[in-house]
Structure 1
Amino acid sequence: MDPVTPAGAVVPPPVDEPEQLRDPEDEPTFRLLIDSLTYLPPEEIETVRRAYRFSERAHRGQMRLSGDPYITHPLAVASALAEWQMDVEGLVAALLHDVMEDTAVSKAEIAQEFGRPVADLVDGLSKLDKIEFQSQEEAQAENFRKMLMAMARDLRVVLIKLSDRRHNLQTMAALRAEKRRRIARETLEIYAPIANRLGLNKLFGELQDLSFHLIYPMRARVLARALKAARGNRRELLSRILAGIKKKLTAQGIEAQVFGREKSLYSIYRKMLDKHLSFSQVLDVYGFRVVVQDIATAYLALGALHALYKPVPGKFKDYIAIPKPNGYQSLHTTLIGPHGTPFELQIRTEAMDNVAQEGIASHWLYKDSVALGADLQQKTSKWFHSLLDLQSSAGTSSEFLEHVKVDLFPHEIYVFTPKGKIIPLPRGATAIDLAYAVHTDIGNHSIAAQINFTQLPLTTELTNGDRVEIVTAAEAHPSASWLSHVKTGRARNKIRHYLKTAQHDESTALGEKMLDQELRALGVVASEVPVSSWKNVLRDSGNKLIKEVYTDIGLGFRMAGVVARRLLAREENRSANEKAPASLVIRGSEGMAVQFAPCCQPIPGDPIIGSIWKGKGVVIHTHDCPAISRMRSSRPTNWIEVEWEPEPGKLFSVRLRVMVQNTIGALGKIATEISSSGTNIEHVKMDEKHPGLYTTIHFTVQVAGRSSLARLMRRLRRIPEVVRITRDQGLTA
């Protein structure tokens, strides 16, 4: 149901309403719509008339909260599409876009009357109002998912939806203030950015300003008055700049149209907010647009105007050579005008100007923009499919909406691959974002980045124009820490998906191992457990597959001992003659299913014990870790015996505290000795609290186990400057 026409706004038709439908020719709004359809052949105009009659009959008696007949809303949406010279199917769908949602009309009836394509368009615009959702946020996300799938199939869906939203915002006076603000915020967060992403700049500005007036009506009125006053005060200056531009271009023999333009209220407000400026400090409220015949002339005009007014360094952007992802092309420069007043100048061709104003709608509206519009439609469709890719692997509705919102606010930078391909990324993106933008497998196996021929970490923030090559390794995989370094929804989603999948698989293997050991302690081999016993456990637990039970055990949601006894139909308390299960053998390569406590950093050779945490799996501590004494008393049943496999086959981090004489070169000698022993140094920190005769250096190194650590410590003790060396345990890094 339309957000501004809740159930209470739709009333049954009055008893005395005449059955005969009013003549469409008598409706002024409909007359205006028909008069604007001169670009359609007569038979298609007749189809639009028929669609209006169908919609009017379906909505007859329904009123909007404003008191207007409901049919005025679909008429307004269709009229907006006619301004873009939308085809007949799009216009019919606009007239019918609410009939499935608010009336008894079915999709089959629409398909029979107007064809399957129109029915699909209307269905894509109808909300999932027959499904119960847990929250408003979940309903919003699920409805957006449905609309997104329809948009990916047919771009006319998004044009109808955005026109629908604009008219809703224009007619919200009758709604309560809180609902107006909620719908306006949703517009600013989702629908206005979509319009921007599709290059619909005019509509984008309208949606922003309408939402701004609904959320902050007082601020909008004050700012509008200030802008009107400034327009009067600066009229002479603006006229002087405009005349100067025209005169210079004419003198250079350049034919061009020159327009003055004004920033939208909301964009001025955002600039004041983001840069903490007053209105009087926002100098570039006004700008100018120069429209020329071809690309070569655009660059000539740029040179001529740079000679007329001095350009501001670093403020030139060439979106003709490198277009924005939404197809926008133009030259941007900021110039210093008379009296030191800066102003922005945009230079582009007429076809580019059409696309800049109307985006994907220019495909229908301007014949000279057909090629650009078709290319933009292809890019837009690809973008929608990338969002569908996000939704297919997002865990929850709110996660999916979060990823989409991230992708809708891309203040772009442009980076180059080694083959010269240009990839747009949001400002603040890192090499990890680029890796996932190229391909998921490259992201999952990346280890470093060659940025401008220098090898740097993957977390390095990229800048405009960087040349980036991603270095990969087959054994590499994503880290949870990457999530704090990525900006794109795609990268965030792919990392989360990998981590969840990896944790799930590793937890399943660990759970199976833990249950097998419990069964062996009860004198049973896992393969001998009858199928009927597993059926009983699955029925009681609510799981569908045995694998799911293993996963729950590995993640700590079920105790292996309890599951083993239920499988054997025994009491849950262990009898006196039953032996305890063998210790769980740890290699250290179990992944996220087995975690090593950062407080004590256990390594092979240390006596260890495992704690089972819900959602984490098994966390390994040393027996003498100070942190476990309190936990063991509060959680006595969640501990299991564990032991190291003889050859774990992995390196482990350990902290060392080295007290040395405060002499020149002491740190270098120790670092050299560690490196020569084949040990990797992860981190070094100097203790600055006691800068006297001695100082303490904290190392984090990687060792294979307790014996290799002992050998390293013996080598370090032989260095004359080393006074004392100990292992740090029981402290956080």
Structure 2
Amino acid sequence: MESAIPAPIDAGTAFPVSPECLVPEAFGSLKALVASYLRPEDVSRIELAYFFAAHAHDGQLRASGDPYISHPVAVAQILAGWNLDAQALCAALLHDVVEDTHISKAEIAERFGRTTAELVDGVSKLDKIEFRSQEEAQAENFRKMLLAMASDLRVILIKLADRLHNMRTLDCVRPEKQRRIARETQEIHAPIANRLGLNSLYRELQELSFQHRYPMRFRVLSKAIRAARGNRREVVGKISHAIIERLPQWHIEAEVQGREKHLYSIYRKMSEKHLTFSQVLDIYGFRVIVPDVPTCYRALGALHGLYKPVPGKFKDYIAIPKANGYQSLHTTLIGPFGTPVEVQIRTPEMNHVAESGVASHWLYKEDEKTLTELQHKTHNWLQSLLELQSTSGDSSEFLEHVKIDLFPGEVYVFTPKGKIFALPRGATVVDFAYAVHTDVGNRCVAGRINNELQPLRTELRNGDQVEIITAAHASPNPAWLSYVRTGKARAQIRHFLKNAQQEEASTLGERLLNQALRLHGLTLGQVSSIAWDRYLREFTLHTRKELMADIGLGRRLPAIVARRIAELQDMESGRSGVVKPKPAGAILIRGTEGVTVQLARCCRPIPGDPIVGIIRKGQGLEVHLHDCAQARKLRSERDRWIDVEWEPHTERMFEVNLRVVTQNVRGVLAKVAHAIAEQDCNIQNVSTEEGEGANYTVINLTLQVSHRLHLARVIRGVRHIPEVVRISRLKGDKPS
């Protein structure tokens, strides 16, 4: 616990500030607010931070023309409304000092303590670092902020309060800047507030973002709401009166609050469901607050007896809380004149958490049980951010994964033992597997949903019971990235594939470099450790494995690397004269090497075809037919060409395309398929098109064959069919 730092007798004298650069009324309100729950020495510390910040910002004005210190004071007032501690309030007052003035983090630490300095640093932007683009800068800012948040939640509370005040005063900046900031707030800050359960803040950020991002739509909808308010007042009053009368009849004490839906939620409903404003009837809702959980369910029964519920519109967030700790019963009733009415039923403690989320920790310390559960959920989410960071390649990828997790749906699924997992809408079996454990995700092969075997891409629904089936030798598939929904699953799949690619690239790089060294009369085993160390130092590489991976991925050409290593070896061993080269030998291709050895799709080579290898930067070795038109275009880049040959025995099947022209008679497709099957060949894909004239049909086939002789047998078998006019192999788009 850091000791409080008392203010001097007169902080204003210690840090002189021009009177016009102070906001005495606003700070007076802040001081009165914090004095209601903090110790006098903490209030003095906050006063010192106020004068220190005002002194640092002396002469600076906001876009509105107000003294700059008015912004930090407003941010501190928002935080004081959540009863945050003195360290957080000092950091709020100082949050722009490091970024906008000459004051350093070390000086803040010296005057206000290390914790306050760390909070300021976590909130500060990274303007002093050069980025390639605005997007990269934004991504890196959020990466730093979210990671700081994982170690201290107060960082994000300060940042959200900062953004809220900026949004409230956004009218003073250029329209294009308004739209950019509003979009950023809508995509990042509002969802984070929602994820942390800061409901009031979330709604206000959404409203302000909508207002500044789509000002015309906001004005039109506001006008429509005002007009509708008078028309619907009688209906709302009648419903409210009926609820207040009904609950005491069931011996239920309750507080009933009527509320108007927010503009943005109405706009989103109109937009998503393609409705006009007049078709959106449920613009009003009610909140019923009762003493305890059993009474919540009794109140639900009372209301369902008063008005008919809408089927499928009941949600029990008490039994299964949302990920941000939110709890309530939700139901939609058909009120008078057919008006749908949304009702939320909750206890006072649930209402605290619903409105203030994680800030309830500072506001309502008496509700320890609920808050402990909420803190546990928040802690788990923050830890998942750290895990995402460790597996994400860069800031943009990290931000992409976080954005995915900030828009959760409401799909709740169960393990066979009854443990509940909350996943975003559209989540699949793979998402569930990674939610259980990273190793389970990496080894999953299928899922059993409600005791029925289902493929990995199956989307999960509310209430599904899911069991993951794993296999010891299974591994993530790149195709999974096209249908997973959670940031954790996406990050872990990419991380695994990246590591697998590095391993495969390293193995391929060794083979390519060994082949290139043979032209200099060397093998990898003959290169001395001194020559290796010199080469790695010269090209600022850390390990030999890193060098091999670079060669395997085409970032370095094996011929050039081999030439330099041979020179270094000669220098070290004292060799001179012409070294007799050894036959280089070809790289043997199995077709199962992995992602670093690709069979070119432009010509689809198969074992038995004459082939050539080309090193493609960032992709590894690409194998083409020796007469492939695409390969011929690269003949000028001779350093990238590699001698390759097929291994005598390959174990996998290879895809090949055939074009078969037949007479247009009934049953010919079946005859062709039968002839192919007779040669123990699988048809991967088939399509037909009209041939030249109505008497002919063209059948396009994708087959799986083991080698060129196998293909020859298939072609011979099909050619024997009387109705077949012509058959040819497609190499790319043209038949050969």
What TM-score does the superposition give when structure 2 sets the normalisation length?
Answer: 0.87
Equivalent position of 1:31 in the other structure: 28
Q: Aligned in 2, Cα 1:222/1:384: closer, same or farther, shift over 3 Å?
A: same
Q: Which moved more, 1:701-710 or 1:137-146?
A: 701-710
Structure 1 residue 60 and structure 2 residue 63: aligned? no
2-side partners of 1:312 and 1:722: how far apart?
63
Q: Aligned in 2, Cα 1:342/1:350: closer, same or farther, shift over 3 Å?
A: same
**Which amino acid in structure 1 is aligned with residue 264 of structure 2?**
Y
Q: Aligned in 2, Cα 1:238/1:588: closer, same or farther, shift over 3 Å?
A: same
On the 8 A contact 2:84/2:362 being kept in 1, the answer is yes
Equivalent position of 1:493 in the other structure: 491
Give the secondary-structure state (helix, strand or coil) at the position aligned to 2:464.
coil
**Which amino acid in structure 2 is aligned with residue 32 of structure 1?**
S
1-side partners of 2:631 and 2:136: how far apart?
43
1-side partners of 2:298 and 2:722: how far apart?
70
2-side partners of 1:175 and 1:24: how far apart?
21
Q: Aligned in 2, Cα 1:386/1:142: closer, same or farther, shift over 3 Å?
A: same
Q: Aligned in 2, Cα 1:642/1:283: closer, same or farther, shift over 3 Å?
A: same
On the 8 A contact 1:317/1:333 being kept in 2, the answer is yes
Deviation at 1:703, TM superposition (A): 4.8
On the 8 A contact 1:155/1:381 being kept in 2, the answer is no
2-side partners of 1:667 and 1:346: how far apart?
66
Deviation at 1:157, TM superposition (A): 1.5
Q: Aligned in 2, Cα 1:304/1:104: closer, same or farther, shift over 3 Å?
A: same
CA displacement, residues 482-537 of structure 1 (integer Å, 9 cap, x when unaligned): 22112222222222222222112211211110111122233222232355654665
Equivalent position of 1:687 in the other structure: 688
Equivalent position of 1:264 in the other structure: 262
**Which amino acid in structure 2 is aligned with residue 687 of structure 1?**
T
Structure 1 residues not aligned, in runs of 5+: 1-16
On the 8 A contact 2:521/2:580 being kept in 1, the answer is no
**Which amino acid in structure 2 is aligned with residue 158 of structure 1?**
I
Q: Which moved more, 1:362-371 or 1:334-343?
A: 362-371
On the 8 A contact 2:42/2:86 being kept in 1, the answer is yes
Q: What does 1:106-505 align with in structure 2 at a 5 Å threshold?
A: 106-505=104-503
Aligned match of 2:623 in 614, 620, 624?
620
**Which amino acid in structure 2 is aligned with residue 639 of structure 1?**
W
**Which amino acid in structure 2 is aligned with residue 260 of structure 1?**
G
Q: Aligned in 2, Cα 1:616/1:672: closer, same or farther, shift over 3 Å?
A: closer
1-side partners of 2:295 and 2:699: how far apart?
65
Deviation at 1:235, TM superposition (A): 0.6
On the 8 A contact 1:292/1:350 being kept in 2, the answer is yes
Q: Which moved more, 1:150-159 or 1:647-656?
A: 647-656
On the 8 A contact 1:433/1:491 being kept in 2, the answer is yes
CA displacement, residues 42-84 of structure 1 (integer Å, 9 cap, x when unaligned): 3433333333333333333332222222222222111111211
**Which amino acid in structure 1 is aligned with residue 125 of structure 2?**
K
Q: Which moved more, 1:89-98 or 1:292-301?
A: 89-98
What TM-score does the superposition give when structure 1 sets the normalisation length?
Answer: 0.87
On the 8 A contact 1:192/1:207 being kept in 2, the answer is yes
**Which amino acid in structure 1 is aligned with residue 443 of structure 2?**
H
On the 8 A contact 2:270/2:280 being kept in 1, the answer is yes
Q: How many residues align?
A: 709
Deviation at 1:301, TM superposition (A): 1.6
Deviation at 1:730, TM superposition (A): 1.3
CA displacement, residues 518-572 of structure 1 (integer Å, 9 cap, x when unaligned): 22233222232355654665466554443333223212233322322233349xx
2-side partners of 1:578 and 1:367: how far apart?
80
Equivalent position of 2:550 in the other structure: 552
Q: Aligned in 2, Cα 1:58/1:26: closer, same or farther, shift over 3 Å?
A: closer
Structure 2 residues not aligned, in runs of 5+: 1-13, 569-577
Deviation at 1:237, TM superposition (A): 1.0
Equivalent position of 2:654 in the other structure: 652
Deviation at 1:355, TM superposition (A): 0.8
Give the secondary-structure state (helix, strand or coil) at the position aligned to 2:172.
coil
On the 8 A contact 1:152/1:385 being kept in 2, the answer is yes
Structure 1 residue 590 and structure 2 residue 593: aligned? yes
Q: Which moved more, 1:168-177 or 1:527-536?
A: 527-536
Equivalent position of 1:11 in the other structure: none
On the 8 A contact 1:288/1:344 being kept in 2, the answer is yes
Give the secondary-structure state (helix, strand or coil) at the position aligned to 1:455.
strand
The two structures, once aligned, show a CA RMSD in angstroms of: 3.5
Q: Which moved more, 1:155-164 or 1:616-625?
A: 616-625
Give the secondary-structure state (helix, strand or coil) at the position aligned to 2:286.
strand
Q: Which moved more, 1:123-132 or 1:79-88?
A: 123-132
Equivalent position of 1:104 in the other structure: 102
CA displacement, residues 274-308 of structure 1 (integer Å, 9 cap, x when unaligned): 23322222222211111112221111222222222
Aligned match of 1:639 in 638, 641, 650?
641
Q: Aligned in 2, Cα 1:97/1:386: closer, same or farther, shift over 3 Å?
A: same
Give the secondary-structure state (helix, strand or coil) at the position aligned to 1:604.
coil
2-side partners of 1:262 and 1:215: how far apart?
22
